[in-house]
Amino acid sequence: MIDLIAKTRCPGWSKAQRHLAKSDPVLAAIIARVGGCTLAPRTDKFGALCQSIINQQISTIAARAVWRRFCALFPRKRPRPKPLLVLSDAALRAAGLSRQKASYLRSLARAFASGAIPVRRLQRMTDEEVVQALIPVKGIGRWTAEMFLIFVLNRTDLLPVDDLGLRAQAARAYGLASLPTAAELIDLAERWRPYRSIATWYLWRNGDKSTK
């Protein structure tokens, strides 16, 4: 979802970076190493959620290949709800989608087409309201909704406590003997408010940097 969906100009995160660096010396070192935050809002909310579903439980390389084939099924290679609903099962299978993921994508398309997901109001809704609007869709749980809030809507103070990658990177960065529990992660992140999403992004990116 992060690298293929169209996005608008990257907003300035210098205030968040200064706050995090001042309040947490561990993050200060990570920010210096990673550089400026490149989070930017995504313009195609439907496409972002489609790609999030496609990415589930397959490798990055495989997900990108399926995503390209899936996009090729639509005019201008842009997935839209109503055209998706008339695609045949055979066409979706040929793109590399399992029967289960095809059903998830149809569920998402119906929610967008019917207005069950209030696309135009999402920016004005609270974080929890957005989560509750998304999770009735098959294939979208709280984690996916939280990734949508961070990467698509750029909400600044999300802390996805169930994300194993975040917990692993927090343990590594802060020298913890084991993965922090949800409560321990919440306690650790208090100093990051109101930019817990940005701190989370930096911990993820620090993990990416460490593997290169």
Q: What is the pLDDT of residues 97-124, one digit of tens each?
A: 999 999 999 999 999 999 999 999 999 9
- Return the pLDDT at 114: 95
Among the listed residues 144, 65, 120, 132, the one whose alpha carbon sits nearest the alpha carbon of residue 97: 65
The pairs formed by 70-76 with CB atoms below 8 angstroms and a separation of 24 or more are: 70/95, 70/96, 70/97
Mean pLDDT of 133-158: 96
Model confidence at 10, pLDDT cuts 50, 70, 90, reads low
Q: How long is the chain? A: 212
Cα 130 to chain centroid, rounded: 13
